[in-house]
Amino acid sequence: MTFSGNLISRHDNDLVLSYVHAYIHAYIHTHIRTYIHTYICTYIHACMRTCMHTYIHTCMHTYIHTCIHTYIHTSDILCIQEPYTIQNKVVGIPNKFRTYTLAGTRSRTAIVVTNKHIDVLLLKQHSDTDAIVTEITVYGVKLIMASMYFDIGRPIEEDLSKIEAVLQHANGVGVLLAIDSNARSASWHDSTTNARGKTLDEYLMSKQLYI
């Protein structure tokens, strides 16, 4: 009997099968190891990111709480802009202190009084969501104090008209304004002066108000 072509012996066949088996084993081992490594790395990265986010959030919360606690217990009066609110009520302030806002609104300003010897009268006619104006009396000395927020989307001239109304009401009595003006000016040590800052700066100078 005659055969044409190349003949593969049983030994050669076993050798080829061994090579194929080794190749398949190496291929599967490599890919499974890569998959497992990728999965583990992804899992660890996700866990670390979650842990880091939680850690940063916790640290920030602790820092803010510590700052508020420190300020509240070392100050007689606090003027706050953009306080944290829940259902239109400022939260985070101990109930033993007096917090002044405009009831029924989501106030972006508040005044907190911690000293029981200070008398406070809320001037509702000059107060709104973005301005809390009070008359402060301590040991016979009277002062008008306002906590104000100037919305950057609102012409600053509208807010300056509120200051004008407060100054007219004061009629010579001392006035203290705590303002988040959303304005930039070198007069309060900013690196630049924008249009809002220039307008506010000129108004303060015209009224001889000190920064």
* All structural domains of the chain with their residue ranges: 8-74, 76-180
Tell me the pLDDT tens digit for each residue of 50-88. Answer: 655 565 556 555 655 566 656 656 789 999 999 888 888
Q: What is the CATH number of domain 76-180?
A: 3.60.10.10
Tell me the pLDDT tens digit for each residue of 116-139. Answer: 999 999 999 999 999 999 999 998
| Of 36-45, 125-134, 154-163, 192-201, minimum mean pLDDT range | 36-45
> How many C-beta neighbours within 10 Å does residue 123 have?
18
Greater confidence (90 vs 42) lies with 90
Please answer whether residues 199 and 187 qualify as being in contact, where contact means their C-beta atoms are separated by less than 8 angstroms.
no
pTM (two decimals): 0.67
| Of 5-19, 65-79, 139-153, minimum mean pLDDT range | 5-19
How far is it, in rounded angstroms, from Cα 132 to Cα 128?
Answer: 6
Q: Give the residue-averaged pLDDT of 161-171.
A: 96
Please answer whether residues 132 and 111 qualify as being in contact, where contact means their C-beta atoms are separated by less than 8 angstroms.
yes
Q: What is the mean pLDDT of the chain?
A: 81
How far is it, in rounded angstroms, from Cα 17 to Cα 208?
Answer: 97
- Give the pLDDT band (50/70/90) at residue 103: confident
Give pLDDT, residue 160. Answer: 97
Give pLDDT, residue 49. Answer: 63
Give pLDDT, residue 129. Answer: 94
Greater confidence (135 vs 6) lies with 135
Report helix, strand or coil for 48: helix
- Give the pLDDT band (50/70/90) at residue 153: very high
Vertex 8, ends 5 and 14: CA angle to 5°?
Answer: 160
Q: Give the residue-averaged pLDDT of 146-168.
A: 97
Q: Considering the chain, what percentage of its residues have pLDDT values greater than 90?
A: 51
